[in-house]
Amino acid sequence: MKLKNILSLAAISLAVPAFAAVTAEEAKQLGTTLTEFGAIKAGNADGSIPAYTGGLTKAPPGFKPDSGFWVDPFKDEKPVLRIDSKNMAQHAAFLSDGQKHLLSKHPTTYYLNVYPTHRTAAYPKKILDATVRNATTCKTTKGGLAIDRSCRGGMPFPIPKTGYEVMWNQMLRYQGDTMITTSASRSWVVDSSGKAVMTAEQATVQDFVYYQTEQADRDPDMVWRTYSISKSPARRAGEMTGIADFLDPVARPRSAWSYTPGLRRVKRSPEFSYDTPVASMGGVTLFDELFVFSGAMDRFDFKLVGKKEMYIQYNGYKNQYDCPTAEKALMPAHVNPECERWEKHRVWVVEATLKPGQRHAYSKRTYYFDEDLSGAANYDAFDQSGQLYRSLFQTTSPMYDKQIPFSAKNVVYDFNKGMYAYVNDVMVGGWQVLSSVRSEREMNPEAIVSRESAR
């Protein structure tokens, strides 16, 4: 990456200790020149990125509350730019290695439709207030690998100083303070021959414990947990898996479990971490690539490079709800570009380098996270010889009626094997945001298995 492409805001001293919070003077920028969550409030020089004005909070015509589906507020917009292999060089400064690889590899079929930029991420006031509080009080510990319990309730680092803090912002991005469920989350894999296979259909539950500060029975050190119940393929029907992560992964590593109907018992699954391939996604993605990144950061050094402008997938309502997967979305070598919506946004850039003596499938990773902390991101991973191995693109489709900048759907390309995975496809059932949380007793793995097996 050329230094001239990094914005002046990127003049951040990377020598600042991982445990340092910002000063009260720096925090005064929040709500003035910066948003309450730390993004630059103003637009960019040429107007291609607008100023932030509070995000999208008004539902468009036709939206049905609690239907599980969100109407595209920008469905009538047309692309303002198409980037393909012929004009890619003109826009290279705003593209990731993965985007450039796809454009070069598939010059006749792949392109980026760039639409007008809309900064739609919106947050409840209590989340913004807690985020402003965190600016001067929230700290990392153990060299950035853990954060303090007092950070709970808000995004932890609105003015990040280290790569670790940016990664915590992504892992702890706001996606509601209750639970989000879906009855049919599907994963698809398209192999090197171009054949598309649905590798899993699962009912899933995500529980955002970090934001449940008023729940007396919640573990104050838990970050997030999820579990899923397989519905297909038939040979895996009834299988269940669960994951829980904590604020201090050093003291409390990821807790994972699985259940197989044939064995009729719950067992611990410590292998659900780091570079273990995810079976339900055809092995095309790893456990620490779930939702771009999850789990412990101890195997890599995370360096904050700075901030730049980039084309990322954003406001992906068409991708999420209006592009039937089997019929339209999946092409032999890549996702149908007509199903994707790219916008220019400012992103935080983090480079992760494998530590000496550590083992992992990758030697280096580069992350590009939306500055509005929506969860939208580009991601490139490199093998041990330094060659591009995988790329991931995650879009956001905000739940405007609930002020949740939700992001879950992504595509992962494995360039070594010539395959890709299409993850968190919910064309059937949609997403449901629960009005209240389940009790801690109900979230116990044994209770989950007993309840779900009885259905």
* 30-44 pLDDT, tens digit each: 999 999 999 999 999
Residue 17 pLDDT level (bands cut at 50, 70, 90): very low
Overall average pLDDT of the 199-217 stretch: 95
pTM of the model: 0.94
What pLDDT score does 263 carry? 86
Overall average pLDDT of the 247-275 stretch: 95
Q: Are 131 and 36 in contact (CB under 8 A)?
A: yes
| 416 pLDDT more than 60 | yes
What lies within 8 Å, CB to CB, of 186 at 6+ separation is: 198, 200, 201, 202, 325, 425, 426, 427, 428
Tokens coding 427: 């064309």
Output the CA angle 230-187-184, nearest 5 degrees: 50
| Exposed/middle/buried for residue 164 (C-beta within 10 Å: 0-12, 13-18, 19+) | buried
Q: How far apart are CA 381 and CA 247, in angstroms?
A: 25
What pLDDT score does 12 carry? 35
Domain ranges of the chain: 3-453
DSSP β-bridge partners for residue 205: 181, 227
Q: How far apart are CA 347 and CA 99, in angstroms?
A: 15
| 244 pLDDT more than 90 | yes
Q: Are 367 and 347 in contact (CB under 8 A)?
A: no
| 262 pLDDT more than 50 | yes
| 2 pLDDT more than 50 | no
Residue in this structure with the two tokens 């939306």, named with its chain if needed: 370
Superfamily designation of domain 3-453: Lipoprotein localisation LolA/LolB/LppX (2.50.20.10)
Overall average pLDDT of the 433-443 stretch: 95
| 62 pLDDT more than 70 | yes
Residue in this structure with the two tokens 């990731």, named with its chain if needed: 96
- Residues above pLDDT 70, as percent of the chain: 96
Q: How far apart are CA 171 and CA 175, in angstroms?
A: 10
User: How distant, in Å, are the alpha carbons of 57, 160, 408 from that of 155?
Assistant: 19, 11, 18
What pLDDT score does 19 carry? 54
Closest CA to 342 of 89, 83, 41, 5: 83
Q: Using the Cα atoms of residue 47, residue 48, residue 51 and residue 55 in order, give the sign of their dihedral.
A: positive
Residue 4 pLDDT level (bands cut at 50, 70, 90): very low
Mean pLDDT, rounded, of the chain: 93
- Residues above pLDDT 90, as percent of the chain: 89
What pLDDT score does 18 carry? 45
What pLDDT score does 20 carry? 58
Per residue in 360-395, pLDDT (tens digit) is 999 999 999 999 999 999 999 999 999 999 999 999
| Exposed/middle/buried for residue 256 (C-beta within 10 Å: 0-12, 13-18, 19+) | buried
